[in-house]
Amino acid sequence: MIKLFGRAFVDDQIRDDVLVTLDVPQIVDVRVVARPPADAERIAGVIVPGFIDVHVHGAAGADFMDGDAAAIACVLAFHATEGTTALAATTLSASRGDLHAAVDVLARVARASPRGAEICGIHLEGPYINVQAAGAQDATSIRPSDLHELAALISLAPERRWIVTFAPELAHAEELIEQFRDRVLFSIGHTAATHAEAVAALEWGAAHFTHLFNAMTGLHHRDPGVVGAALTSVGATVELIADGIHVHPAVLRIAAQAMPHRVALVTDAVRACGMPDGTYKLYDSDIIVSGGAARLANGALAGSTLTMRRAVQNMVELAGLPLETVLPMATEVPARILGVDNRKGRLDAGYDADVVVLSEKFDIEQVWVRGERG
């Protein structure tokens, strides 16, 4: 058993003198103690739940679209070193064959439980999106929604949480949601929808927004757009890419304050994450990474090189929010989105032993994934 003693994020507060006892695969006990046992390790930083990323494509030169078990293992291992202990493996708009192959390998790897971050979900970012808001997605792979294709993909991994990013203004979007809303979290994104179209999609059952502000209609005071629908929604959750490039720090702060308990920090990281500046593949496109920003040749942002550790740091240092406000955005909220909030996202007895020790400078000092050192 591992015993960590020090400051810890427990019940939405950072408390002193917490003893966290963990084993494989669960947390055994979390309590405030006057004096730690002799075999406890004193922690200088803060003990927090492992981070959960619901939108991530790759890292360290590998991408979930590679359709290769070794590439998937590489992404899972890299993000674990940056504090991510669970994630939704995210695909891109791709040909039918490539998408099916990628999901097939992901499903098999997820069942084998490799080391590193746990694949709790599969996030299809397209292909049922609006080509007008494609961002860096391959325009030729974007297509009308196809109930048979989606059913076939889900059947490859029915035990995972499924997130589908879709554009509600496209034909048959309502039918798509009606057919799959029991099995899929529908996420509004890569969309040119009006405010009214986004509100209608929420009524049909969509309940999430993919990288809020990016690749969607913005908020204008006479035309509130998709962003307005997200801000005024009661229960829908949203993703924020907190790299300081995709969304201005002031807007990160506005979003966090306007939507308590509804914001999930995501990386949207691509294979260039953790790699030097240079040219990399994003499905069929070349992307150029310069100063950490990933773009297509035409200048469009193409995912990010962000890590969850850095996203948390940016929400504190750039957006000016207290760490206690930021941590749930990287833990509890994404655990809820992935339907694993009964076992992840908190430091509590009986929860998975997904634990991160964060230094004062936001470095990752220790990572435990289901009780194994990451």
Catalytic positions = 268
Least separation in angstroms between residue 92's CB and Zn ion is 7
Closest distance to Zn ion from the beta carbon of 173 (Å) = 20
Q: How many residues bind Zn ion (CB under 5 A)?
A: 2
Q: Which one, 113 or 132, has the nearer CB to Zn ion?
A: 132
Nearer Cβ to Zn ion (89/355): 89
Which one, 8 or 270, has the nearer CB to Zn ion?
A: 270
* Tokens at 273, concatenated: 């994450």
The distance of Cα 291 from the centroid of its chain, to the nearest Å, equals: 22
Residue 144 CA to residue 203 CA, distance in Å, equals 21
Smallest distance, Zn ion to C-beta of residue 257, A = 25
Only segment of 59-67, 123-131, 315-323, 348-356 that touches Zn ion (CB under 5 A)? 123-131
Is residue 239 a contact point for Zn ion (CB under 5 A)?
no
Q: Which residues pair with 125 in a beta bridge?
A: 165
Rounded CA separation 200/373 (Å) = 45
Q: Which is nearer to Zn ion, 74 or 306 (CB)?
A: 306
**Residue with CB nearest Zn ion?**
268
- Cα 14 from Cα 45, distance rounded (Å): 11
Comparing CB distances to Zn ion, the nearer of 125 and 352 is 125
Q: Which stretch binds Zn ion (CB under 5 A): 108-116, 122-130, 200-208, 271-279?
A: 122-130
Q: Does 268 bind Zn ion (CB under 5 A)?
A: yes
Q: Does 138 bind Zn ion (CB under 5 A)?
A: no
With contacts defined by CB under 5 A, name the span among 38-46, 121-129, 286-294, 308-316 that binds Zn ion: 121-129
Q: How far is the CB of 266 from Zn ion (least distance, A)?
A: 8
Q: Considering the complex, what minimum distance in angstroms separates the CB of residue 90 from Zn ion?
A: 6
Least separation in angstroms between residue 343's CB and Zn ion is 26
Name the residue nearer to Zn ion (CB basis): 9 or 64.
Answer: 64
125 belongs to the binding site for Zn ion (CB under 5 A): yes
Per CB under 5 A, residues contacting Zn ion are 125, 268
